[in-house]
Amino acid sequence: MLSYTAFIRPSIRIRPLRHHATRSLATSVFSKTGSTPTAEAEEHLKNVAKYNQYTNAFVDLTQPDHIRSQAIESTRRWESGTAKSAVDGAVMGYKMNFCTSDLRTTCSSAMLENFKAPYTATAIELLEKAGVIMGGKINMDEFGMGSHNVYSHAGPARNPFEILGRSTEEIQELEARSAGGSSGGSAAAVASNMCFAALGSDTGGSVRLPASYCGVVGFKPSYGRISRWGLVAYASSLDTVGTLTKTVSDAQTIYDIMAKEDPKDSTCLTERQRKAIADTLNPIDLTRLKDQDVNAKPLLGVRVGIPQEFNLAELAPATKDLWRRGIQVLKDAGAVVIPVSLPNTKLAVGAYFTLATAEASSNLQRYDGIRYGHQSDKNDEKDALYSHTRMEGFGKEVKRRILLGTYVLTSGSFDNFFLRAQKIRQMVRNDFDRVFSRRNAITGSCGNLVEDFESDNSAATRVHALLTPVAVSTAPKLKDVIGDQIDPVDAFLDDIFTIPASLAGIPSMSVPFGTCTKDGFPMGLQIMSQYGDEEMVFKVAKVIEEKGRGMSNKNSS
Amino acid sequence: MMRPWLLRAQQATGITRLSYYSTGARSHGARGLTTAPRQHHPQQQRPVHAAPPPTRNLVKGRWEPIIGLEIHAQIKSKTKLFSDGQTSFNAPTNTHVTLIDAAYPGTLPECVDLAIKTSLALDAHVYPVSSFDRKHYFYPDLPQGYQITQHYEPLAQNGKIELSPLDGLDYHLTVGIEQLQLEQDTGKSLHDVYPGLTLLDFNRAGTGLMEIVTKPDLRSSKEAGILVKKLQALLRAVNSSDGNMDEGSMRCDVNVSVHEVGKAYGERCELKNLNSIKSVVDAIDAEIARQIVAYESNEPVTQETRGFDVSTGTTFRIRSKESAPDYRYMPEPDLPRLVLDLATIRALKSQLPELPDAQRERIMGQYDLSLIETRTLMGEDGMVKYFESVVSKGPTAKSVITWTIHELLGRLNARDIKFSPDVVKATQLGSLINCVDQGVISAKIGKNVLNLMIEGDLRDAEAIVEEKGWKQMENHDELDKLCEDMMSQYQDKVKAVQKGNI
């Protein structure tokens, strides 16, 4: 093993964090509970003790005393009006593929079982600077490959939804449900209030699907918004840092802290680019509307599209019903809802798995057991060291994707698979540019001829946001997604609604919207908007969230 | 891939490239993203540059060798290609640094500038947009499991190097440069430092390399040797690489095939890891001989990678084509495309130093020097500048060339000292030559003065001559009187001389 001393890097330059405006707990993330960081931390620790044995969300935990002492310090800061940010003192969990110099960074793989990163991811550094306390590292699918958090060296994570508030005996009688994946542990931890929020990573839906299954908010910002430095790569051109939170405004708060330029990631937007993007997003013209109308109907002037291609035959009736209710909610809030077409949606899944596996086979090439990580004892011959090490270190699903990706990149199939997939990706991106009323701030594309885009005719048919389901159904039973009888190709369909946004790099959020009438499990709706237009996602999501919460209350009452 | 860097590209160039992707994606002509084999082999490529007699250097009167070179030159930059790690680094580096740490402020521009200058010096076309790719293979000294290179869209293409009788060839030859690309160097495997163990040193991992690929325009080992030498001189003139083959800052792979004149080209073999110009020449000769023997005895020559054993002077098989790795080239998703401002390219072009060919022509004409004298001058690092600086002190070029390459260089060689402008300062040598030319001292005394200077006397010739009393007498009356005194004092000697007894 080599030493990691060479790894120390100069800390990135970050603009000093704005001190929280009023410096009062009432405007912090603690205002909803009327609580303090200390009390919240105690609550989280209690839930960890109670539920983690069932959900298997946290794999490595920070020493409780360490959390407590940090929470106390934070509470003092709040009392003395010197809080670092709105989330000062909040406890967060981080997915196991984020490098932290404290706990292990295993990526849920035997390959990295004892790996301690010599540095901390940029996103986490920014959060720590804002006063966030690390609660621990969270379970995931190995290297982010999976949709149910079952391909994990730490064992599957379990959906906490029906566990909450039940006794041990009751829980044991329940059939375990999937927490979704690959950030299943993160969603489960937030849903069971083991932490204020959690970081996940989203490559093809890994944040949004678990959020939908567990009933929390899952947000994937535009590609390049948050630095990937320190996020162990699965598919570099698709990987994004995502969040799992209880509310949309929490997601917005955390996102604002992390969305910063980082010279350590060349694909991360620079401040200049961020400004350029902000300049292209013309605000919606509300001048002709009366203030009281705008207050009553927050989405006046907003056009929301319903992509027809997402209306699949496989869609459960309950999901369709949910989607319909979502549309009604947006209409009630003043939005114009129109059908739109994203014709290449059905090609997206194939393109995604071609590109993601190709990049994964390349990114995972470095795990050879030489510098860090698992090394096989059976190092009898030169070549054998590699094969033994990788055979023992990687799990089944990872090996399957490495093989697929290796095949995709071989000289005989590169043109047929990789290049075609790249073309489809471009087509999917064009589909989005054609329906959005704002230009793609990066490519400048509006999907069509400029004249067409600028004509009034087009303005009426183009939309600010899209509304779709997140998943075909509610969380499946764990026994249905574990084991060899599962067809891996069928499993890919779990991500069918989330993949297009990943391919196009656009922001997308899964917002809980009521529960399924059939099994009582939560379901989410997905909101997407044009590249760089996170604000629109938040705006629409807040409306959905508010109504969704109302419905849940109705159901429970 | 989302392409945030495109915006960066616009900012860098100030020109709108928004249509770049929407129009034709990545395929624009020959440089598009396809897996068409790279064209540096005879089967696909005919020399396009003006060439001397189409068949030359035939072996045994009928076998024509076809030779192309791939030269890797380490870029002389302070930091690595994609990380701010130092190029000479004592601590071991970690793989993550070079992958995700693709940040280029401070690191990328330098490597790129030097590679652009080299490309321009090779008269190649520098593309304003190029991109990076990953080349995959497993080897312990390759930390990422892939090397970042420029496979699909290299930095520059279509250059050339001219060889002429002035370089030691009997004819003029233009050797095409297929392309120049940027790539990362690997670490080093140290075999058998401890018996049976391989140690790994990652200091070199991630250092910038230029891969320079020639067209298959060469026909003999002599041509190849001269080309490498010339390229070496060019890299040093541009100061983009040390170009030392023995230190590994320049490495050379050779593709060789042989065929009978008038028949189809033969299968090529790649000779790897040649670490001196002599082994390049010897390995080519050995390989040509081997292939001819094989053809003559009706044994097939198959495409393969071979090494060269210096001790036996023969080549040996490393791996056959069947066992050659599939590198699975893939566009590098962690790095934006490399976008160059045209103004930058122009500025770099104007900064190019005088290149060896132009310099040779100029000094031969300007100072009326012979080819051998010019070659000697240009053969020593910094000597041309030194020579010109001495000439500027006043003496004639003829006497300066004698004093520099014969007297000074001869003495330095005898003492085994490497030439440097600091051993004897140009002002010192200038004063010395002036003293001799003006008759202040004789040429013989001048050589003594030069010896003192080499031994560390930092004064000008005048001061040394003054102190030693070596000044030549110019007053004839005084000299006559001195002679007469001597003769009257030593009568017996005079007589002996008069008898013819000298």
Cβ(A227)–Cβ(A123) below 8 Å: yes
Q: Do β-strands A303-307 and A465-469 pair in parallel, antiparallel, or remain unpaired?
A: parallel
If we measure between CA atoms, which residue out of A284, A417, A300 comes closest to residue A347?
A417
Put simply, the answer to whether A270 touches B144 (Cβ < 8 Å) is no
What one-character-per-residue DSSP string does A341-389 give?
--TTHHHHHHHHHHHHHHHHHHHGGG-SSSSSS---S---SHHHHHHHH
Q: Cβ contacts of residue B36 below 8 Å, gap of 6+?
A: none
Active site residue A331: no
Put simply, the answer to whether B328 touches A362 (Cβ < 8 Å) is yes
* A5, A268, A367: residue with CB nearest B91: A5
Active site residue A95: yes
pLDDT for the residue B32 = 45
What one-character-per-residue DSSP string does B3-28 give?
-THHHHHHHHH-S--THHHHHHTT--
Among A28, A182, A361, A473, the one annotated catalytic: A182
Distance from CA of B116 to the nearest CA of A (A): 21
Among A74, A84, A85, A95, the one annotated catalytic: A95
Q: Cβ contacts of residue B412 below 8 Å, gap of 6+?
A: B418, B419, B423, B454
B144 chain-A contacts, CB cut-off 8 A: 365-366
Listed range (A423-437, B32-46, B131-145, B243-257) with the worst mean pLDDT: B32-46
Please say if the pLDDT value at position B92 is more than 70: no
Cβ(A460)–Cβ(A470) below 8 Å: no
Which two structure tokens, joined as six digits, stand for A487? 């067809």
Kindly indicate the confidence band of residue B4, based on its pLDDT and cuts at 50, 70 and 90: very low
Tens-place pLDDT, residues B278-313: 999 999 999 999 999 999 999 989 999 999 998 999
Active site residue A46: no
Q: What is the mean pLDDT of residues B364-372?
A: 87
Q: What average pLDDT does the structure give for chain B? A: 80
Ordered strands of the A522-529 beta sheet: A58-61, A133-138, A91-95, A197-202, A240-245, A217-220, A508-515, A522-529, A465-469, A303-307, A336-340
Distance from CA of B124 to the nearest CA of A (A): 28
Tens-place pLDDT, residues A46-83: 999 999 999 999 999 999 999 999 999 999 999 888 88
Kindly indicate the confidence band of residue B341, based on its pLDDT and cuts at 50, 70 and 90: confident
Task: Supply the pTM of this predicted model.
Answer: 0.82
B92 chain-A contacts, CB cut-off 8 A: 2-3, 6
Tens-place pLDDT, residues A121-179: 999 999 999 999 999 999 999 999 999 999 999 999 999 998 888 888 888 888 899 99
Among A206, A222, A437, A473, the one annotated catalytic: A206
pLDDT for the residue A528 = 97
pLDDT for the residue A360 = 96
Please say if the pLDDT value at position B194 is more than 50: yes
Beta strands in A223-317 (DSSP E): 240-245, 303-307
* Nearest residue in A to B135, CA atom: A362
Q: Tabulate helix, strand, coil % of chain A (nearest 5).
A: 45, 15, 45
A230 chain-B contacts, CB cut-off 8 A: 100
As a whole number of angstroms, the distance between CA B67 and CA B266 comes to: 11
A235 chain-B contacts, CB cut-off 8 A: 333
As a whole number of angstroms, the distance between CA A310 and CA A348 comes to: 12
pLDDT for the residue B86 = 60
Q: Produce one character per residue of A196-221: b if its CB has 16 or more CB atoms within 10 Å, e if not.
A: bbbbbbbbbbbbbbbbbbbbbbbbbb
Q: Using a CB–CB cutoff of 8 Å, tell me whether A32 touches chain B.
A: no
* Nearest residue in A to B143, CA atom: A366
pLDDT for the residue B405 = 86
As a whole number of angstroms, the distance between CA B116 and CA B97 comes to: 25
Q: Using a CB–CB cutoff of 8 Å, tell me whether B192 touches chain A.
A: no
Listed range (A133-147, A419-433, B18-32, B176-190) with the worst mean pLDDT: B18-32
Q: Do β-strands A91-95 and A197-202 pair in parallel, antiparallel, or remain unpaired?
A: parallel
Q: What average pLDDT does the structure give for chain A? A: 87
Kindly indicate the confidence band of residue A453, based on its pLDDT and cuts at 50, 70 and 90: low
Q: Do β-strands A217-220 and A197-202 pair in parallel, antiparallel, or remain unpaired?
A: unpaired
Residue position matching structure tokens 């086979």? A361
More confident residue, B180 or B437: B180
Q: Using a CB–CB cutoff of 8 Å, tell me whether B86 touches chain A.
A: no
C-alpha of B283 from chain center: 19
Cβ atoms within 10 A of the Cβ of A15, count? 8
Tens-place pLDDT, residues A89-113: 999 999 999 999 999 999 999 999 9
As a whole number of angstroms, the distance between CA A515 and CA B305 comes to: 64
Residue B321 has, within 13 A of its CA and on its CB side, a CA count of 8
Tens-place pLDDT, residues B100-111: 333 222 233 356
Cβ(A529)–Cβ(A555) below 8 Å: no
Considering only CA atoms, give the Rg of chain B.
Answer: 29
Kindly indicate the confidence band of residue B141, based on its pLDDT and cuts at 50, 70 and 90: confident
As a whole number of angstroms, the distance between CA A396 and CA A38 comes to: 42
Put simply, the answer to whether B145 touches A362 (Cβ < 8 Å) is yes
Listed range (A24-28, B269-273, B322-326) with the worst mean pLDDT: A24-28
Tens-place pLDDT, residues A350-383: 999 999 999 999 999 988 888 888 888 876 665 6
Q: What is the mean pLDDT of residues B38-51?
A: 42
Put simply, the answer to whether A266 touches B103 (Cβ < 8 Å) is yes
Start-to-end C-alpha separation, chain A = 59
* A264, A367, A443: residue with CB nearest B100: A264
Tens-place pLDDT, residues B195-243: 877 787 777 778 889 999 999 999 999 999 999 999 998 998 898 898 8
Q: What is the mean pLDDT of residues B36-44?
A: 41
Phi, psi of A351 (to 5 degrees): -65, -40
Q: Using a CB–CB cutoff of 8 Å, tell me whether A280 touches chain B.
A: no
Cβ(A6)–Cβ(B85) below 8 Å: yes
Cβ atoms within 10 A of the Cβ of A387, count? 13
**For residue A202, what is the enclosing H or E element?**
strand A197-202
Put simply, the answer to whether B136 touches A272 (Cβ < 8 Å) is no
As a whole number of angstroms, the distance between CA A556 and CA A341 comes to: 37
pLDDT for the residue B54 = 65
Which two structure tokens, joined as six digits, stand for B483? 């002679």
Please confirm whether the linkage preceding A502 is cis (ω < 30° from 0): no
If we measure between CA atoms, which residue out of A317, A197, A217, A188 comes closest to residue A548?
A217
Tens-place pLDDT, residues B232-252: 989 988 988 988 888 888 999
Which two structure tokens, joined as six digits, stand for B181? 């690309």
Amino acid letter, residue B152: Y
If we measure between CA atoms, which residue out of A403, A482, A488, A495 comes closest to residue A149?
A482
Inter-chain CB pairs, A–B, below 8 Å = 148
Q: Using a CB–CB cutoff of 8 Å, tell me whether A415 touches chain B.
A: yes
Distance from CA of B16 to the nearest CA of A (A): 10
Tens-place pLDDT, residues A4-13: 333 333 333 3
Please say if the pLDDT value at position B87 is more than 80: no
As a whole number of angstroms, the distance between CA A500 and CA A299 comes to: 25
Amino acid letter, residue A463: V
A386 chain-B contacts, CB cut-off 8 A: 138
Q: Produce one character per residue of B45-81: b if its CB has 16 or more CB atoms within 10 Å, e if not.
A: bebeeebbeeeebebeeebbbbbbbbbbbbbbbebbb
Q: What is the mean pLDDT of residues A276-302?
A: 80
